[in-house]
Structures are given as structure tokens and as C-alpha cells.
Amino acid sequence: MSHYCDLAPGHPWHGPYHEKEYGFPVRDDTALFERLVLEINQAGLSWLTVLKKREAFRRAFDNFDIAKVAAYGSGERERLLGDAGIIRNRLKVEAAIHNAGVILALRDTHGSFAAWLDHHHPLTKAEWVKLFRRTFRFTGPEIVGEFLMSTGYLPGAHHVECPVHRHILACGPAWYTRQGPGPD
């Protein structure tokens, strides 16, 4: 099975994401929410499809403004389901809106989504999946694993030989700084 590090370099869509975002620590709640929504929307589709629709997702979801998305009513839901620029799946749209509300509640209890993640770190992938399933909607093992790898909470985003790997280590991802260096 090919690894993302083998496929992404030089690709017009995957390359920039691989080199500048994937696996780097994310601390901003808006960026974390965006990544969660994108990972949820990738389910059953290719990551390339999601990357190509990313700007449309940003427009459709008010630049992932968590409070705005959490307040979406029936009109916004129907608008999203009619937007050909994004993935029009009712369960995924409902999950994004619900999960925005959850993140607002996590801000009340922990200060931020990032602080909630930090509070629970380190966990195994299986433990993270259980926690996410209790907390969020549409968060199965693949979605949770990719979300946490892509945001620096779980290792495995890059091969240790990948040139991007050392840049990520220099940024201090949670999996590296809180558990110590380990195999990728």
C-alpha cells in the first residue's frame, strides 16, 4: 500500500497539503473545525475531491466560523444541500452543524477545542475513536485517525525519511512532545 509521502510530492493538490499542512500541529479552533469537517466529508470519497472543493467548503460554511455554523437553521441546511460546490450529503451537513455546537460547548468547559484535545492527550487511536464517538457525530475510526494525524495528535502522517517529517518534529506535534519520539 502506498503512503501519502509517496504519492503527494509534485501533485498540484496533494503536494502543497502534504508539504505545508498534513501532520503539522494545529492549535486554532477554526482550523481544527475545518479539518474535522473536511475529514468527515472525505468519507467514501477521495481526498483529492475534498481538496478541490475546499474553497467552496470555506465559502459555504462561512469560513468555518464555529458560532455561525452552530447557529445554522433549516434555511442554511437546505442552502448547503443545494450547493453543488460542496459534498451534498445530509448526514455530513448535519454532522458539521452539530459538531460546531459541540465545539462551542467544549470551549465553555475547556477554553478551546485544542485545549480539549490536549486534556485527553495522549490516547491510543482506539481510545480517541471511543471519545470522538461519544462527543461528535460522523466520527468513525478512519475519520478520527486522519483528523488526529493531520493535526499532529497521532504519528504516522509522514515517513521518517520524508523531508517534511523533520519540519513537523521541529514544530513539536503533540504525539512527539508529549509521548517522546517514536516510530512513524
Examine the residue annotation and report whether 127 is marked as an active-site residue of this protein: no
Examine the residue annotation and report whether 22 is marked as an active-site residue of this protein: no
- The verdict on whether residue 18 carries a ligand-binding annotation is yes
- The verdict on whether residue 98 carries a ligand-binding annotation is no
**Single-letter residue type at 62:** D
Given 4, 17, 128, 176, which residue is catalytic? 17
What is the CA angle 96-62-137, rounded to 5? 5
Say which residues have a Cβ less than 8 Å from residue 31's Cβ, sequence separation at least 6.
Answer: 64
Q: Is 43 left (phi over 0), alpha (psi -120 to 50) or beta?
A: beta
- The verdict on whether residue 162 carries a ligand-binding annotation is yes
Given 4, 22, 34, 47, which residue is catalytic? 47
Given 4, 22, 34, 39, which residue is catalytic? 39
**Single-letter residue type at 137:** R
- The verdict on whether residue 158 carries a ligand-binding annotation is yes
**Residue 165: DSSP 8-state:** H
DSSP symbols for 34-96: HHHHHHHHHTTS-HHHHHHHHHHHHHHTGGG-HHHHHT--HHHHHHHHT-TTS---HHHHHHH
- Residues assigned a catalytic role: 17, 39, 47
Annotated binding site: 5, 18, 158, 162
Annotated binding site for Zn(2+): 5, 18, 158, 162
